[in-house]
């Protein structure tokens, strides 16, 4: 990959890092509000759950972005962490923090889906 392309990816990732870093500081939605009205309490709890999920996703994505910046520094950016093949430039353009090529990512997603299914089945059996 050319230095010019790497610089462009670095700028994109740094911008995304800044954006995500600012988003994780916004935690007002997690404040527990008290209300005498049961419906208000339920609505606030739902909003808090949604905000917690968004913060968790942003935190996870921030880790992925930081990992991609580290791979640029280590000169391993654009190389699949599993099979060591080059990641398709179109994939990197769409998901610049990708650490896996599309084939390895699909395999990882299938494995995760299988393990989630097995966990759900074991929870049902335990109940």
The CA-atom distances, in angstroms, between 92 and each of 5, 50, 79, 89 are: 11, 29, 10, 5
Q: What pLDDT, on a 0 to 100 scale, did the predictor assign at position 126?
A: 73
pLDDT band per the 50, 70, 90 thresholds, residue 120: confident
Any idea where the domains of the chain sit in the sequence? 1-77, 80-127
Q: Which whole number is the average pLDDT over 96-122?
A: 91
- Total-model pTM: 0.75
Kindly report, residue by residue over 13-72, the tens digit of the pLDDT: 999 999 988 765 556 656 666 777 888 888 888 888 888 888 899 999 999 999 999 999
Contact criterion met (CB below 8 Å) for 40 and 32: no
pLDDT tens digits along 59-79: 999 999 999 999 999 999 999
């Amino acid at each position: 990959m050319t230095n010019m392309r790497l610089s462009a990816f670095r700028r994109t990732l740094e911008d995304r890092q800044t954006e995500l870093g600012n988003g994780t500081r916004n935690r007002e939605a997690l404040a527990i509000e008290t209300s005498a009205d049961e419906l208000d309490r339920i609505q606030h709890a739902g909003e808090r759950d949604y905000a917690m999920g968004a913060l968790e996703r942003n935190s996870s994505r921030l880790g992925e972005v930081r990992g991609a910046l580290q791979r640029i520094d280590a000169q391993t950016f654009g190389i699949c962490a599993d099979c060591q093949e080059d990641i398709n430039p179109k994939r990197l353009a769409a998901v610049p923090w990708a650490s896996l090529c599309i084939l390895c990512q699909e395999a990882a997603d299938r494995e995760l889906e299988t393990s989630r299914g097995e966990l759900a089945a074991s929870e049902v059996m335990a109940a």
